[in-house]
Amino acid sequence: MSGKSKLAKVGDWLDERTGFRALLGHALDEPVRGGARYAYVFGSVLTVGFAMQVATGLGLMTGYSPSTQTAWSSVHWLSTQMAGGWLVRGLHHFGASAVVIVLGLHLLQTALFGAYKKPRELNWLLGLGLFGVTLGFALTGYLLPWDQKGYWATKVATNIAGTIPGIGPRLQALALGGSDYSSLTLTRFYALHVGVLPLTALFLFGAHIALFRKHGVTPPASADLKKRDSFFPKQLGKDVVAAAIFVAAVFYLAYRSHGAPLDAPADPASEYPARPEWYFLSLFELLKYLHGPLELLGTVGLPTIAGAYLAALPFVDKKPGAPLTARLKFLAPLAVGAVGAVGLTLSAQSKDARDKSFQEARVKADAEAARAHALAARGIGPEGPLAMMKNDPEARGAALFGKHCASCHVLAGLGSPKDASAPALDGWGTEAWVVGLLDDPDHEARFGKTPFKGMMPSMTRCKPGDAACKPMSPDDVKAVASFLASQAGEPVTDAARARAGESIAKTRCTACHLFRGEGDDGGEGTAPELAAWGSIPWIRAQIDDPSSRATYREKALTHGAEVKGGPKPMPKLGGQIAPADVDLLARWVHAKARGQKL
């Protein structure tokens, strides 16, 4: 029994109403002059790339919230909570870079084949427009996560725009929505990224393809023009292979990186090792060599000259059918520009790799990003991610220590060992630190740089001629260290030894120290209180008021200054910072002295 299949009948029904078979035939039967080539695949790859960006962009829009309070939080949620969100972000992120690369290669291929000549001038200009729009996508999308990297890189770009003579400040204010970055800046970039630029790209892309279909491919001068291949199956097969490689590469990068990077929340008050994305890195590197009035040449002059050259190329190189060798003089600036851009990019990356200060700042930024993700996993409050970071004991404590303590002390990489004038606090309160103190209290890492140098004798060694000196035995030193470490909150591994240490301390140390408010000198000595020494309450009291009997006493500080002719060793911070910050700083110092996280 003969007859058409159900699928064929459905096809007939659709063709009768849409004429899709004629349209499909028109698309697939296009002749390829000179034969199918992999050199012609870039247009199809870009079509797939743009389609991928649209699809993943729509996926990201379902969870993104464009405001300074919510942008980072929503991107973090997309990356960690939304099913497959990390993959969608990764595809969108790496897809953007891949599209820029393929578009650049397409431009070079078009120039080498002379596909900008009559009657393809307008199509060349449309391609340049698409290239500019693609960079616009990259620039506007960079800011949307509202993280440190995007914020500072975009700030550099908008500051450059502000240097354009005449219209620069107005353009900058228009982009920012005011005098500085705010939620209005973010919503404007978002509107450009998902509204204005896609519509512009759709128009340019459609017109570009229509004109390409009208004029066809431009074969190289060496091609056999008598040869004809149809688009299907030869050229389409090559396009499919190239597009598959493109998609596979983007998927691989997204999977390997488990999505796209997300730095710590944008903080306008912070210091950050800002760098633009790789496709703007050559311009960033170029600006290092241009200073003063020449800076405008790099930010505005050279990009304008490059754009004008590319736009004018079809109208300068007008001789039809000229081989590549005859067109080298016209293409030389393009070659120099391409080589220069690659060279500057590699130079910038190489310098950053060798720049110790940049690498240290990058490590710090990565640590802040990791901390931000860890905090966000616990939940982000209504105040937003920046407040989350500001109120984090780990980050907040470091900031407080850096501001109020690091000029004298060293702890957790903060402060300068060379400039320190007070004990180094790494390990402070532990048994090992106390053992070192009892052996050599005047070591530079302890009291050697303070007004108290020479005021505490070594408990393990006697000065020559001191017949009354009775040095502690190694076991006694360990016992006292164990006792004092227990006061600081360290776990007691040997209770009997700690009790013995307490007895020794009461016998050997209370001539100068207080213990629970009592001492041989009636509280008039110059040494600190030993009860709870090094604990969080002790540190809190010391930060709040070092002259109270809870830690040191007024006479101790004054005597140290009088004897050595220097200032008081430690200022009173109570009243200068909030009580909550005093407590936070005390907990941070206690944890960091032991190498712990809060």
**DSSP type of residue 529:** B
Higher-scoring residue by pLDDT: 467, 368: 368
* pLDDT confidence tier of residue 521, bands split at 50, 70 and 90: low
Q: How far apart are the first and last CA of the chain?
A: 80
> Are 100 and 134 spatial neighbours (Cβ–Cβ below 8 Å)?
yes
* pLDDT confidence tier of residue 243, bands split at 50, 70 and 90: very high
Same domain, 331 and 254: yes
CA-to-CA distance for 135 and 572, rounded, in angstroms?
54
CA-to-CA distance for 341 and 282, rounded, in angstroms?
5
* pLDDT confidence tier of residue 1, bands split at 50, 70 and 90: very low
Question: What residues pair up with 230 in beta bridges, in sequence order?
Answer: 31
Same domain, 150 and 228: yes
In single-letter form, the type of residue at position 147 comes to D
174-201 pLDDT, tens per residue?
989 988 899 999 999 999 999 999 999 9
Same domain, 290 and 425: no
pLDDT of amino acid 524 = 62
Instruction: Work out the burial of residue 290: count CB atoms within 10 Å of its CB; fewer than 13 is exposed, 13-18 middle, 19 or more buried.
Output: middle
pLDDT of amino acid 562 = 46
Secondary structure (3-state) at 33: strand
Higher-scoring residue by pLDDT: 426, 448: 426
- CA-based nearest residue to 451, from 567, 551, 553: 567
CA-to-CA distance for 77 and 67, rounded, in angstroms?
15
CA-to-CA distance for 527 and 98, rounded, in angstroms?
66
Q: Would residue 336 count as lying in a domain?
A: yes
In single-letter form, the type of residue at position 519 comes to G
> Are 485 and 434 spatial neighbours (Cβ–Cβ below 8 Å)?
yes
- Spatial neighbors of 577 by CB under 8 A, at least 6 apart, are 400, 404, 585
Same domain, 316 and 418: no
Higher-scoring residue by pLDDT: 559, 586: 586
pLDDT of amino acid 548 = 82
Same domain, 334 and 441: no
pLDDT of amino acid 202 = 96
Same domain, 211 and 70: yes
pLDDT of amino acid 598 = 81
CA-to-CA distance for 401 and 407, rounded, in angstroms?
9
CA-to-CA distance for 364 and 72, rounded, in angstroms?
19
Q: Would residue 172 count as lying in a domain?
A: yes
Instruction: Quote the mean pLDDT of the chain.
Output: 90
Percent of the chain surpassing pLDDT 70: 96
pLDDT of 53 above 80: yes
308-344 pLDDT, tens per residue?
999 999 999 988 877 888 899 999 999 999 999 999 9
- CA-based nearest residue to 420, from 379, 385, 458, 449: 449
Sign, CA torsion 444/450/453/457: negative
CA-to-CA distance for 109 and 39, rounded, in angstroms?
7
Instruction: Supply 73's token pair.
Output: 């939080």
| Residue that has been written with the tokens 């032991």 in this structure | 594
- CA-based nearest residue to 490, from 531, 534, 529, 528: 534
pLDDT of amino acid 561 = 46
pLDDT of 296 above 90: no
Q: Would residue 173 count as lying in a domain?
A: yes
Q: Would residue 466 count as lying in a domain?
A: no
Q: Would residue 443 count as lying in a domain?
A: yes
Task: Tell me the residue range of the domain where 99 lies.
Answer: 24-363
CA-to-CA distance for 573 and 395, rounded, in angstroms?
19
pLDDT of 555 above 90: no
Same domain, 328 and 476: no
> Given phi > 0 = left and psi -120 to 50 = alpha, else beta, which region is 217?
beta
Same domain, 304 and 403: no
Q: Would residue 381 count as lying in a domain?
A: no
pLDDT of 567 above 50: no
Number of separate domains in the chain: 2
In degrees and rounded to multiples of 5, residue 228 shows phi and psi of -135, 130
Q: Would residue 377 count as lying in a domain?
A: no
> Are 255 and 86 spatial neighbours (Cβ–Cβ below 8 Å)?
no
> Given phi > 0 = left and psi -120 to 50 = alpha, else beta, which region is 442?
alpha
Same domain, 238 and 172: yes
pLDDT of amino acid 568 = 53
> Are 65 and 71 spatial neighbours (Cβ–Cβ below 8 Å)?
yes
**DSSP type of residue 398:** H
- Spatial neighbors of 586 by CB under 8 A, at least 6 apart, are 536, 537, 539, 540, 543
94-143 pLDDT, tens per residue?
999 999 999 999 999 999 999 999 999 999 999 999 999 999 999 999 99
pTM of the model: 0.80
* pLDDT confidence tier of residue 443, bands split at 50, 70 and 90: very high
pLDDT of amino acid 421 = 87
Same domain, 407 and 316: no
Q: Would residue 500 count as lying in a domain?
A: yes
Instruction: Supply 445's token pair.
Output: 């890492």
Same domain, 101 and 156: yes
CA-to-CA distance for 432 and 47, rounded, in angstroms?
66
In degrees and rounded to multiples of 5, residue 162 shows phi and psi of -70, -15
Largest CA distance in the chain: 124
The full 3-state SS of 130-145, as one line of letters, equals HHHHHHHHHHHHHHCC
Of 323, 344, 363, the residue that ends a domain is 363
> Are 76 and 376 spatial neighbours (Cβ–Cβ below 8 Å)?
yes
Residue 413 has a CB neighbour count (10 Å cut-off) of: 11
CA-to-CA distance for 178 and 69, rounded, in angstroms?
18
State the alpha helices, DSSP H only, in 83-233: 85-112, 121-143, 148-161, 168-176, 183-191, 197-215
Residue 425 has a CB neighbour count (10 Å cut-off) of: 23
> Average of pLDDT values for 440-450?
88
Planar angle of CA 438, 444, 447, nearest 5 degrees:
55
Q: Tell me, what CATH number does 336's domain have?
A: 1.20.810.10
**DSSP type of residue 473:** P
Instruction: Supply 484's token pair.
Output: 């004092």
Same domain, 444 and 313: no
